[in-house]
Structure 1
């Protein structure tokens, strides 16, 4: 299939944004936990925290700062290790939240406090999330330059088989607007879906919080191990 026309670029950007935002990972674990325990607004606000970090990485890419991290392996490893420790800390909090939801009918913190907490958790984690850092070091920086990007090739598991199906021109503001629009669609729809299911299944909220804890703990341990190996290798 040929390169997408300018009229298709925004729509392709939305697909690209959804493909980046939807796969399971630490950001969606935080959004899920906030959504099922504190409501749609808390989940949406957590999503805004992660999206805000992407906007910061985008701005830093324009300034050339993100590219600096590509050559600063030690700095990048420290960021990954910090993110891993934060994920382990938030995993412990998710376990406490799941237990509290089993044992109490208390709705949790006041809405304003809950929203601020979710935004801060997702924002800080996103700033130290190696997946987001790697994206902006590679594909994200490339989106700013004239050229092309193979959108569907970045889908988990099936990306290799879809390589070449949808190629779009880069360097276009419309593509970037569509990408962030796709992320916006996800952070609106994902919490809404979880909240809707949670209203029908009494045990859904603590179960999701428990799964979120496992996901965060798994990624946290992996990131800490990766950072430790990188730092130890650099001083060996």
Structure 2
């Protein structure tokens, strides 16, 4: 029982460690959270988690390995992912532009009236976040981008499936950017279903807490939403260009 619990806790730490670093998935979650609220951000997080679950199942049956063995197939997937990231970056930039626009204008009768503000569309309702009236597409955006992410494919080819095989794994060494400095910090025995359950629980915990933190900050800091939207657009555009370059060089 204690072994299963310790494996599950190690999996939670691993899931959080992989979900937290900046990247296209967190850019989508951040954009959805500040422009459309916690629910939209959480759904985007579920989209990324669902993609990981899909990769897990595909890796078990060998499909992920098939993609990696054929560079042309992989390049086409990466190219599609790059195009989608550039497209979603444009959408994030548009969202940032909308948040900078004045949301209230003074009505024609305010000069001698009660001074009440009205919306530009003539209604007296409180302003809403850009895009809040529209159905959030964060889940689909994160899911599709994750499926076209070569880094996630590579992870599930190596470390991901290895979580169920008997042996040992240096979990934090797999973290993006800082893995080398954390090598040896969290070495666990693999082959336990509790480790996999904890891993997905850690991702779910991030998908819950990260949007909540962003929404709380957006309520307290003026202009927080447009800044996050701009950063999200830049991150998506940057990764999109990198993915497109990777696809073109592979195909050529």
Question: Contact 2:35 / 2:132 at 8 angstroms: preserved in 1?
Answer: no
1:5 CA drift (Å): 4.3
Counterpart for residue 181 of structure 1: 201
Q: Which runs of 5+ in 1 are unaligned?
A: none
2:83 is aligned to: 85
Within 2, Cα distance between the matches of 1:138 and 1:218?
26
**Contact 1:91/1:212 (CA < 8 Å) preserved in 2?**
yes
SS of the residue corresponding to residue 165 of structure 1 reads: coil
Q: Distance in 2 between matches of 1:112 and 1:169?
A: 46
Q: Deviations over 1:110-154 (max 9, x none)?
A: 56712xx11111111111011211111111122232211101212
Q: Provide, for residues 57-113 of structure 1, a one-character-per-residue CA deviation record: whole Å limited to 9, x for no partner.
A: 111112121121221111111111110000000000011010011113443345671
Cα distance in 2, alignment partners of residues 147 and 72 from structure 1:
29
Instruction: Name the structure with the higher helix share.
Output: 1
Counterpart secondary structure, 2:208: helix
Moved more, 223-232 or 149-158: 149-158
Q: How does 1:29-68 map to 2 (within 5 A)?
A: 29-68=27-66
For 2:201 and 2:134, locate their aligned partners in 1 and report how far apart those are by CA, in whole Å. Answer: 25
Taking the aligned partners of 1:161 and 1:96, their CA distance within structure 2 comes to 38
Runs of 5+ in structure 2 lacking a partner?
104-126
CA distance in 1, matches of 2:69, 2:142: 26
Shift in alpha-carbon separation, 1:8–1:111, aligned structure 2, 3 A: farther
Where do residues 208-223 of structure 1 align in structure 2 (5 Å cutoff)?
208-223=228-243
Asked if structure 2 preserves the Cα contact closer than 8 Å seen for 1:43 and 1:118, the reply is yes
Partner in structure 2 of residue 121 of structure 1:
141
Over the aligned positions, Cα root-mean-square deviation in angstroms equals 1.6
Find 2:171's aligned residue among 128, 151, 154: 151
In structure 2, relative to structure 1, the CA distance for the partners of 1:209 and 1:64 (3 Å cut) is same
Q: Which has the larger radius of gyration?
A: 2
SS in 1 for 2:181: coil
Q: Aligned partners of 1:109, 1:156: CA distance in 2, in Å?
A: 32
The aligned counterpart of 1:108 is: 130
Inter-CA distance 70–109: structure 2 relative to 1 (3 Å threshold): same
For 1:185 and 1:111, the matched residues in 2 are separated by 27
Judge which range, 87-96 or 122-131, deviates more.
Answer: 122-131
- Whole-angstrom distance in 2 between the partners of 1:161 and 1:93: 36
Equivalence for 1:225:
245
Scaled by the length of structure 1, the TM-score of the pair is 0.92
Equivalent residue for 1:167, pick from 171, 187, 204: 187
8 Å CA contact 1:42, 1:111 repeated in 2: no
Offset at 1:155?
2.7
Q: Could you tell me how far apart the structure 1 residues matched to 2:184 and 2:67 are?
A: 29
Q: Which runs of 4+ in 1 moved over 6 A?
A: none
